[in-house]
C-alpha cells in the first residue's frame, strides 16, 4: 500500500468532500480499505499506459476498418478500376485483396512490437507494485 | 462428361463403395483418436478452471492452433472454396473479412478480456454492472449466438456427410446429425475445455496439412504460375475475365451490393464478439500469451484463406463445368471434388484416397467447431445464468462444474433436435446472423465496458438486448427466412426487409443504444469498479 504511486497535487475529483485525505473512494464497506485501484487509475504512470494503448489501438482500428470498407466499396462500385490487369491474369481486385492479407499481418506485427516495447514494461511495473502491496 | 448422373457425379461414380469404406474408416479413426485424447484430458479435469479454461496452461502457439481450429468452420473450408469455384473473385472477397476481423480481437479485446475475466464473456460485461441483469443478458446473447452458429454447423454436417458418403435416405441424414451431436457432447462433458482444445488443435493441423497438400498439387499442375491458374479458371468457368473481377455474386443488383457491405461489416466486427472465440483467451496463462495466440491464429488463418484461393480457382479450372453445381448448388463439395480430380480422377486410387482424406478433414472440422460452440454456450449457462443469477453466486466449484456438464447435455440435445428438424432447410444464413448478433450486441457492450467510464448497467442492457433483437428481427423479416427460392421457408413470404444481412442497421444501433442507455440512465456509473476493471484489464493485476 505504501509503495502505491502518490497521487500528485493535480486536479482530482474526490467523490465527496469528506473523503479527501482518506482512501479516495468510499466503498460499500467502509471498514475494509479499498484496493488502491482508483489511486492507480489516476496516477500519471497509468495515464501514460492508457494513452500508449489508446493512441495506438484506436486510430489503427479505425484505419484498418476503413481500409477494409474502402476495399469492399471499390469491389462493389468500381468494377472497371478493379478489372485493370496488372500482370498476366492478375488484376487490381486480386492485388488489393492480397494487400488486405499483407496489411493484416503487418498491423498484427506492428501492434505486437508496440505492446512489447511500450505497454508491457509499464503494465508490469504497475502490476508488480499493486500485487506486492496487496 | 454428360450430365446424366443424378447426384454428385464424381463422388458417387465408379467405386463409390470403396470410397465410402475408406471415408467411413477415416471418420471413425478421427473420432476414436480424439475421444481417446478427450478421455485423457478428462482425467486431468477436476476444478472449474480446468473445465472452463483448460487449466489456463496452454501456450500461445497451442492456443493459436486451437483458435484456428475453432474458427475455421466447414463454412470457411468448404463454403469459401466452393464460393470461389462458382463465383470466382467474389468468393475470395467474402473470405477477407474473416481474417481482417482478427485485428479487432488483437488490438482491443483479447488482452483486456484475458486480464479481467475468468470463464465467460459475461465476466467482463458484468464486471462493473449489476450482476444479475447483465449476466442474464450476456448469457442470453451467448447462447443465442452459439445456437444459431451450432444449428448451421449441425445441419451442414448432416447435408455434407450424407453428400460425401452418397447417403440419400432421410434416416441416414438424421443418423449423421444425431451421431455428430453425441460425439460433440462426449468431447465437452468428458474433456471440458482441455479436451475441446486438443480436438481443435488436431483438427487445425489436419486441415492445414490437407489444404497444403491439395494446394501444392494444384500449383504443381500449373507449374506454380498463379496467372496460368487464374486464366484456366476463368476460361473453364465459361465466364471469362468477369470470373476474376468483382460482381458475379455480390454485385448483381443494387441491393446485393449494399447487402455485401452489411455482411462485411458484421464479419469484421463480429469475430471479436463471438463467445466461443472469446473463451479461448482464458486458456493461456497471461495476456501476453493471449496476444501471441491471436498472432498465431492470424498467421494460420491467413495462410489458410490464401490457400483457399488456390483451392477455389483450382476447382474452377480443373473440374468439368457444371459438375460442381450438379453435386451441390452452393458448391460445398468443390474442395473434395478437386481432391479427387487432382489425385488422378474418379476411379483412380490416388483420387479415392485424396477424396477420402479431404472428406475426413471436413468432418473433423465440423466436430471441432460444434464442440467449441457447445462449450461456449454451456459455460455461459452454468457460470453466468445458473451460478451467478439463479444461485446468486452461492454454489460450490463441484456444483458449478456439474451444472456445466448437465448444461452441455441439454444444449447438445437441443442442437440435435433442431439440427434434425433443420436438416432440409437452408440454414447457411444463420452463420451470418451469428456474426451480426456478435457485432451488434456483444462487441459494443464489450468495448464500452472496457473503455468508456460512463457506461452503465442500463447501457449494457440496451446494447445487448437492442442489438440482439434488431439483428434477429431484421433477419426474420428478410429473404433469408422467406420470400425467395433459397430462403429457409421458400413457400412463405413475409420478407419486408430487403437485406439478408442486418449488420448495416443493427451494428450502429447496438452502439447507439449502449451510449443512449448510459446517458439516460438514472443510476451513476460505478467509478470505483471501473477503476478496478480498467487497471486490471490493462495491467493484468489480480488476473486469474
Higher-confidence position of B138 and B13: B138
What residue ranges define each of the domains in chain B, with the CATH number in brackets? 9-44+60-427 (1.20.1730.10)
- The vertex-B366 CA angle with B360 and B370, nearest 5°, equals 150
Q: Compute CA distances B311 → A89, B23, B80, B95, B466, whole Å.
A: 17, 20, 9, 13, 40
pLDDT category at A57 given cuts 50, 70, 90 is very high
What pLDDT is recorded for position B73? 86
pLDDT tens column, B33-42: 999 999 999 9
The whole-angstrom separation of Cα B432 and Cα B474 is 12
pLDDT tens column, B437-484: 999 999 999 999 999 999 999 999 999 999 999 999 999 999 999 988
Q: Which segment, B22-26, B359-363, B397-401, is predicted with the most confidence on average?
A: B397-401
Q: Which of B107, B269, B532 sits opposite A111 (nearest CB)?
A: B107
Higher-confidence position of B156 and B392: B392
Query: How confident is the prediction for chain B on average, in pLDDT?
Result: 92
What pLDDT is recorded for position B488? 87
Do residues B37 and B202 make contact, with C-beta atoms less than 8 angstroms apart? yes
What pLDDT is recorded for position B17? 65
The whole-angstrom separation of Cα B78 and Cα B73 is 8
Mean pLDDT, rounded, for B85-101: 95
Per CB-CB distance under 8 Å, the chain A contacts of B260 are 72, 75-76
Return the residue of A nearest to B290 by Cα: A112
Per CB-CB distance under 8 Å, the chain A contacts of B222 are none
Look at residue B48 and tell me whether its pLDDT is greater than 50. yes
Phi, psi of B502 (to 5 degrees): -80, -10
Which residues, in sequence order, are CB contacts of B195 under 8 Å at separation 6+?
B37, B38, B41, B42, B45, B187, B188
pLDDT category at A103 given cuts 50, 70, 90 is very high
Look at residue B204 and tell me whether its pLDDT is greater than 80. yes
What pLDDT is recorded for position B166? 78
What pLDDT is recorded for position A134? 57
- Grid coordinates in use for B397? 466449484
Query: How confident is the prediction for chain A on average, in pLDDT?
Result: 81
Taking CB atoms and an 8 Å cut-off, how many pairs form between chains A and B?
A: 164
What pLDDT is recorded for position B3? 36
pLDDT category at B486 given cuts 50, 70, 90 is confident
Q: Is A106 helix (H, G, I), strand (E, B) or coil?
A: helix
pLDDT tens column, B349-392: 999 899 999 989 988 999 999 999 999 999 999 999 999 999 99
- Grid coordinates in use for B155? 445441419
Q: How far is B96 from chain A (nearest CA, A)?
A: 7
Q: Compute CA distances B123 → B17, B117, B403, B481, whole Å.
A: 51, 5, 17, 33
Per CB-CB distance under 8 Å, the chain B contacts of A82 are 245-246
Which residues, in sequence order, are CB contacts of B156 under 8 Å at separation 6+?
B74, B75, B332, B366, B427, B428
Q: Is A84 helix (H, G, I), strand (E, B) or coil?
A: coil
- Say whether A40 and B306 touch across the interface (CB within 8 A): no
What pLDDT is recorded for position A22? 38
The whole-angstrom separation of Cα B48 and Cα B50 is 5
What pLDDT is recorded for position B98? 95
Per CB-CB distance under 8 Å, the chain B contacts of A101 are 96, 99, 302, 305-306
- Say whether A73 and B261 touch across the interface (CB within 8 A): yes
- Say whether B534 and A41 touch across the interface (CB within 8 A): yes
Look at residue B491 and tell me whether its pLDDT is greater than 60. yes
The whole-angstrom separation of Cα B112 and Cα B380 is 19
CB neighbourhood size of B306 (10 A) = 17
Amino acid at each position: 500500500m505504501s509503495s502505491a504511486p502518490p497521487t500528485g497535487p493535480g486536479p482530482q475529483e474526490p467523490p465527496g468532500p469528506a473523503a479527501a485525505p482518506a482512501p479516495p473512494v468510499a466503498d460499500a464497506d467502509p471498514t475494509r480499505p479499498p484496493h488502491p485501484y482508483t489511486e492507480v487509475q489516476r496516477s500519471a504512470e497509468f495515464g501514460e499506459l492508457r494513452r500508449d494503448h489508446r493512441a495506438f489501438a484506436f486510430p489503427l482500428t479505425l484505419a484498418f476498418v476503413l481500409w477494409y470498407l474502402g476495399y469492399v466499396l471499390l469491389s462493389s462500385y468500381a468494377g472497371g478500376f478493379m478489372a485493370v490487369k496488372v500482370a498476366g491474369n492478375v488484376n487490381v481486385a486480386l492485388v488489393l485483396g492480397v494487400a488486405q492479407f499483407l496489411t493484416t499481418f503487418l498491423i498484427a506485427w506492428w501492434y505486437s512490437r508496440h505492446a512489447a516495447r511500450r505497454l508491457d514494461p509499464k503494465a508490469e511495473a504497475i502490476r508488480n507494485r499493486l500485487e506486492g502491496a496487496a | 462428361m454428360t450430365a446424366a448422373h443424378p447426384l454428385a457425379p464424381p463422388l458417387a461414380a465408379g467405386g463409390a463403395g470403396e470410397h465410402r469404406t475408406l471415408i467411413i474408416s477415416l471418420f471413425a479413426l478421427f473420432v476414436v483418436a480424439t475421444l481417446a485424447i478427450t478421455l485423457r484430458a478428462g482425467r486431468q479435469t477436476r476444478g472449474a478452471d480446468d473445465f472452463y479454461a483448460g487449466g489456463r496452461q496452454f501456450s500461445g502457439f497451442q492456443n493459436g492452433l486451437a483458435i484456428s481450429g475453432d474458427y475455421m468452420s466447414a463454412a470457411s473450408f468448404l463454403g469459401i472454396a466452393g464460393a470461389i469455384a462458382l463465383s470466382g473473385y467474389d468468393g475470395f472477397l467474402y473470405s477477407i473479412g474473416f481474417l481482417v476481423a482478427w485485428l479487432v480481437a488483437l488490438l482491443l479485446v483479447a488482452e483486456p478480456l484475458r486480464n479481467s475475466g475468468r470463464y465467460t464473456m459475461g465476466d467482463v460485461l458484468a464486471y462493473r454492472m449489476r450482476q444479475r441483469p447483465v449476466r442474464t443478458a450476456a448469457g442470453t446473447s451467448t447462447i443465442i449466438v452459439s445456437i444459431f452458429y451450432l444449428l448451421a454447423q449441425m445441419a451442414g454436417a448432416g447435408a455434407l456427410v450424407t453428400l460425401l458418403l452418397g447417403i440419400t435416405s432421410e434416416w441416414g441424414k438424421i443418423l449423421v446429425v444425431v451421431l455428430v451431436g453425441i460425439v460433440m457432447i462426449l468431447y465437452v462433458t468428458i474433456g471440458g475445455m482441455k479436451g475441446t482444445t486438443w480436438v481443435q488443435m488436431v483438427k487445425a493441423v489436419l486441415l492445414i496439412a490437407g489444404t497444403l497438400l491439395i494446394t501444392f498439387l494444384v500449383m504443381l499442375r500449373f507449374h506454380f504460375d498463379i496467372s496460368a491458374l487464374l486464366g484456366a479458371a476463368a476460361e473453364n468457368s465459361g465466364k471469362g475475365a468477369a470470373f476474376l473481377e468483382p460482381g458475379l455474386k455480390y454485385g448483381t443488383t443494387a441491393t446485393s451490393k449494399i447487402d455485401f457491405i452489411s455482411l462485411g461489416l458484421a464479419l469484421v466486427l463480429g469475430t471479436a464478439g463471438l463467445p466461443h472465440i472469446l473463451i479461448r483467451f482464458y486458456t493461456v496463462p497471461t495476456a501476453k500469451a493471449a496476444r501471441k495466440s491471436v498472432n498465431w491464429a492470424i498467421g494460420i488463418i491467413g495462410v489458410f484463406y490464401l490457400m483457399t484461393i488456390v483451392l477455389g480457382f483450382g476447382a474452377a479450372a480443373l473440374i468439368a463445368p457444371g459438375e460442381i453445381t450438379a453435386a451441390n448448388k452452393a458448391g460445398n463439395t468443390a474442395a473434395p471434388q478437386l481432391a479427387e480430380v487432382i489425385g488422378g480422377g474418379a476411379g483412380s486410387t490416388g483420387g479415392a484416397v485424396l477424396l477420402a482424406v479431404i472428406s475426413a478433414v471436413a468432418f473433423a472440422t465440423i466436430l471441432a467447431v460444434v464442440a467449441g460452440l457447445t462449450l461456449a454456450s454451456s459455460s455461459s449457462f452454468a457460470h453466468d445464468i445458473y451460478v451467478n443469477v439463479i444461485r446468486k453466486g452461492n454454489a460450490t466449484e463441484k456444483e458449478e462444474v456439474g451444472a456445466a456438464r448437465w448444461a452441455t447435455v441439454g444444449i447438445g440435445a437441443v442442437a440435435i433436435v433442431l439440427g434434425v428438424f433443420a436438416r432440409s432447410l437452408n440454414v447457411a444464413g444463420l452463420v451470418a446472423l451469428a456474426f451480426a448478433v456478435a457485432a451488434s450486441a456483444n462487441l459494443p457492450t464489450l468495448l464500452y465496458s472496457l473503455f468508456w467510464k460512463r457506461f452503465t448497467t442500463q447501457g449494457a442492457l440496451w446494447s445487448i438486448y437492442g442489438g440482439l433483437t434488431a439483428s434477429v428481427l431484421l433477419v426474420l423479416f428478410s429473404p433469408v427466412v422467406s420470400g425467395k427460392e433459397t430462403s429457409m421457408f421458400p413457400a412463405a413470404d413475409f420478407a419486408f426487409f430487403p437485406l439478408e444481412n442486418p449488420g448495416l442497421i443493427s451494428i450502429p444501433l447496438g452502439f447507439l443504444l449502449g451510449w443512449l442507455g448510459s446517458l439516460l440512465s438514472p443510476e451513476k456509473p460505478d467509478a470505483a469498479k471501473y477503476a478496478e476493471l480498467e487497471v486490471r484489464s490493462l495491467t493484468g493485476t489480480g488476473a486469474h
